[in-house]
Structure 1
């Protein structure tokens, strides 16, 4: 779908709002805090550290950005305000995704309806791309693709179709949109195709159950693949298999993971384990679940590894030293591609600072540290942050 006049008017309005949101003279500058969590190490692989995006509870305007540096062993909390004193006090409302492309760091800020673009070397503001109710971002060539619910942040049985926004990485402007399913979430790129997991979360109980396939040459939706209801996460392995998580309906339809063969766009497997989040490390699909039941009002928590080559669950608890008993609500997950360290975050009660845990590849705790509110999304960086903080 080509951009409409209505969309262009909305984008113009958002740009005006962003320009007017710069920090006022009487606002107090929030300084970062630096904690040494482990001895610095001589980095031998490409990864120099990682950024962690804290979501912040919806409506609190408390999305924040943390950074861990391997060379110093320092964990730097809430770095954005200090590095951007003339821009705004905080990143915005609900940090939903963070990724790196080239020298740019992209943070998707859902309820603030924007993608914040920073210099990956300094975490300093470069631009803000207005996209309504934006969710996740992926890249292919000279373009970024951002999933968007396209409407208000509200449960609505008549909520409109979502879309994917196409962003030119040179101009940092939205140049096109393509309608997909209802409330689209994560995406993966395979060749010239973009796969989009549609949730239909706003239309509960009438969830969407499809993955949209977009031809990137024409930027049009060419098919929908019927999968499972309330889709969310996506990852692709080395053999072209796409893993898609279904959150179920929180009653009788349980969370599962579906496998799509990207060569023929057919669902080939249904994996009968729940997954709230997952990430691939080689042939290992690490996952955790906080499957919620509306019958009991409780979460059922599990941690596991699935071997994507042998097609079997390797373990149902990759934390081997009992630390999982200290984690109230697992919320973020990542595996360092170099060291194979496992990172798990704890959102606790969703309104107070969380905790980040670092585990050895064998699942034993190395260190932990306090984060911002609702620590959620990781991206590893091959470029060490070239700044010094006041509290260092």
Structure 2
């Protein structure tokens, strides 16, 4: 989710939004459903399963959509949810903030719609819905889904603590909740502990600066680790460390990447590089940044690879063929769990349809395709 005023003036924004709404209305079918498209992007591969891409959609416009890459045919299918679930109210909803697969179910966290839609992993048919106010991210552990919640109205500067909801993946009922910091974001599980980034993003400059640690057995917060302001992403490596991004204050405190030792629950290292998001595969963390500055009124884009085993930066860019110059606003990243392909999304100006890029492990472009509005979050179907 991004603040559109960072990019363009209010006057131009209104003009663009009006044009976008008119364009969308013209493209809708008589039943109100935006038709999807199918694009041949790769060669058929019957040995690997496909993946879903959740497009966030602009806030307040109910434009979140779900795409699917069918590896068996090499065809990329856009906006499949509305076609498969034509009776769903307001289609997928308002701001798709995260997506994850656990067992036979696909969980789509729809932030401003205050819900988690649960779909069948293979058919994308809607199974059920979990109501969670201002929900943000989802992760899984021992038959349970864990969803972070701001527990507040959008943009409420006086909002108090958020919480994590524990959901039974069989019944889709909320079992327990635990209070954490203000505006909790992404989570990662290491051993029997849950690590949550607290942002405090609704009340700048009074940001949060801690990672909450929750014991998964008692479901109690056992510690808060002081890290940095305005935390966001949390990713675990295979060595027992957790990587946490700080977004800074968008003025003089810059974005940065931190490493937490989960044995001692302390910050053990940091990297002086901007980090909006990262994906870890093996010993490599692929990092990108689109760091916004209110001083310059623009994003600064960068890429890097970090070796998580020895905690050193390997390279300043993982895109090696120059295509990075075409990407205006990198917004999502994933690494193919089977062949190491790198997927990067471009949200462009947050108004027009975005683009999904597929790069080889060597950083060479394989293909690209038009996605939905603000393409962001991936879920690979396991074999």
- Distance in 1, Cα, partners of 2:33 & 2:379: 26
Alignment of 1:241-280 (within 5 A): 241-280=241-280
Alignment of 1:297-376 (within 5 A): 297-376=297-376
| RCO higher in structure (CA 8 A, sep ≥6) | 1
CA RMSD of aligned residues (A): 1.3
Q: List gaps (5 residues or longer) in structure 1.
A: 1-25, 384-392
- Distance in 2, Cα, partners of 1:83 & 1:123: 7
Residue 232 of structure 2: aligned partner: 232
- Distance in 1, Cα, partners of 2:281 & 2:168: 30
Residue 112 of structure 2: aligned partner: 111
Cα pair 2:62 2:90 within 8 Å, conserved: no
SS at structure 2 position matched to 1:90: coil
Residue 380 of structure 1: aligned partner: 380
SS at structure 1 position matched to 2:258: strand
**1:182 CA drift (Å):** 0.7
Residue 213 of structure 1: aligned partner: 213
Residue 285 of structure 1: aligned partner: 285
**1:89 CA drift (Å):** 4.4
What is the TM-score when the length of structure 1 is the normalising length? 0.88
Residue 12 of structure 1: aligned partner: none
**1:155 CA drift (Å):** 4.3
Residue 188 of structure 2: aligned partner: 188
- Distance in 1, Cα, partners of 2:39 & 2:287: 28
- Distance in 2, Cα, partners of 1:28 & 1:232: 35
Residue 129 of structure 1: aligned partner: 130
Cα pair 2:178 2:221 within 8 Å, conserved: yes
**1:31 CA drift (Å):** 3.3
Cα gap change, 1:308 to 1:159, in 2 (>3 Å): same
**1:38 CA drift (Å):** 1.7
Cα pair 1:81 1:88 within 8 Å, conserved: no
What is the TM-score when the length of structure 2 is the normalising length? 0.91
1:318-339 per-residue CA deviation (whole Å, 9 max, x = no partner) reads 1111111111111111110111
- Distance in 2, Cα, partners of 1:214 & 1:295: 37
- Distance in 2, Cα, partners of 1:348 & 1:246: 22
Q: List gaps (5 residues or longer) in structure 2.
A: 1-29
Cα pair 1:109 1:115 within 8 Å, conserved: yes
Cα pair 1:290 1:301 within 8 Å, conserved: yes
Cα pair 2:353 2:372 within 8 Å, conserved: yes
SS at structure 2 position matched to 1:82: helix
- Distance in 1, Cα, partners of 2:241 & 2:120: 33
1:141-182 per-residue CA deviation (whole Å, 9 max, x = no partner) reads 1211100000000141x2111100111111101122111001
Cα gap change, 1:89 to 1:36, in 2 (>3 Å): farther
Residue 144 of structure 2: aligned partner: 143
1:332-385 per-residue CA deviation (whole Å, 9 max, x = no partner) reads 1111011111111110111111001111111111111000000000111126xx
SS at structure 2 position matched to 1:202: coil
Alignment partner of 2:45 out of 36, 41, 44: 41
Cα pair 1:155 1:204 within 8 Å, conserved: no
- Distance in 1, Cα, partners of 2:236 & 2:150: 23
SS at structure 1 position matched to 2:325: helix
- Distance in 1, Cα, partners of 2:45 & 2:123: 21
Give the count of matched residue pairs: 355
